[in-house]
Amino acid sequence: MKHSERQLSKEAPWTDLVIAVGVIAMVLGHALFPSIKTDHPASTLYIVIYWWHMPLFFIIGGLTLKPLARNWHAMWQFIRERLLPMAYTYLIAGVLLIFASHFIHGDSWGYTAHYFLRMIYGGSALNGDLTMMWFFTVMALTFLVVELLITWTDTFTQFFIAIIMFALGISYGSIGFMGEPTTPWAADLVLMTTLWMLCGYHGYRYYSQMKNKAFFATAISIIFVILAICRFEWGLNFVLYLKTHSIKTPYMAFYVPLMVTLALCIMAEALYKKGWLNWLQPLSWYAVPILYMHQAVIDVLAKVPALNHTLILWLLGVIISLLIAAGWHHLVKLFLPKSTRN
């Protein structure tokens, strides 16, 4: 957990619960995936989860940003302290996951070697155990774009640029680059994620002043349930698969994630004050390694017939990933001097 995330966790500890819900939803989505073509309830749940759980991380990411001094030294410091560690983690996690995938799936060494090149290119073409790699490159690029906006432009200009970007982002089906079917690092998705993160940044500044939070959380929850029922019963034509840029009813892609995230923030704040569900906080503390590794954990578990069931894959995918991440963290604390750790 970087300094900015630690500061947010200290200022608004309820955000840990929001992130934990996002992590749980992420693992559930991947546990559901094998069933979505044959099980209508599973397919509906999968689609409904994807309406909000990926945008949620970008919205919450906006809560961790602050304007920098208007000079390039401050911007370079931001890149060095915030973005380069994300790049190092991406490379290390990618190498580990590629080797893990080689042994889990019995891939040839030629295929494995080629996957290293695919990892450098990144983007939504990465699949299997590296299925989450695109998310981290898009998150880093979005941090950079939003930080530039909030540092160098006024609020009106920020939203004007972000809305234009979002409109462009939802205006096409897919885009390639130099013969590849996707852009490097899935960079084109930043057209959409910038507006979500910017809304998170500005929304957090005014969140504490919000009145009638319980009313809004209840109203949003009712609307969300109605939308989910409409999807289940009548096939509501709203799909938001960010990774593959598969978007139906694009205007809903703006407000549905924001509404759901707001409701989750309100409920998380209330639950945190009561001390309920605070045991979920470690899922936020170790969110990054869990997001990186959970697909590999699910793939290993799925090879055991007795464990190859959605609920088991979901629960164990979360628990085992958390235990591995926490165990590694404590080993690092035990054996490495503090000065060598982040």
Residue 334's pLDDT is: 82
Give the span between the Cα atoms of 109 and 114, in whole angstroms. Answer: 9
Q: Hey, where are the domains in the chain?
A: 3-340
Contact 115, 99 (CB under 8 A): no
Give the span between the Cα atoms of 295 and 146, in whole angstroms. Answer: 29
Residue 339's pLDDT is: 47
Structure tokens at 149: 């906006």
The tens-digit pLDDT sequence of the chain (342 residues) is: 565 666 777 788 999 999 999 999 999 999 999 999 899 999 999 999 999 999 999 999 999 999 999 998 999 999 999 999 999 999 999 999 999 999 999 888 988 998 998 899 988 778 889 999 999 999 999 999 999 999 999 999 999 999 999 999 998 877 767 666 678 999 999 999 999 999 999 999 999 899 999 999 999 999 999 999 999 999 999 999 999 889 999 889 999 999 999 999 999 999 999 998 899 999 999 999 999 999 999 999 999 999 999 999 999 999 999 999 999 988 888 887 664 554
Work out the number of other CB atoms within 10 angstroms of the CB of residue 78: 21
Q: Distances in Å between the alpha carbon of 269 and those of 199, 224, 248? A: 19, 19, 32
Q: Distances in Å between the alpha carbon of 204 and those of 65, 191, 306? A: 10, 21, 45
Residue 264's pLDDT is: 98
Work out the number of other CB atoms within 10 angstroms of the CB of residue 117: 8
Nearest to 283 by CA among 7, 44, 28, 4: 28
319 in helix, strand or coil?
helix
Please give the model's pTM, rounded to 2 decimal places: 0.94
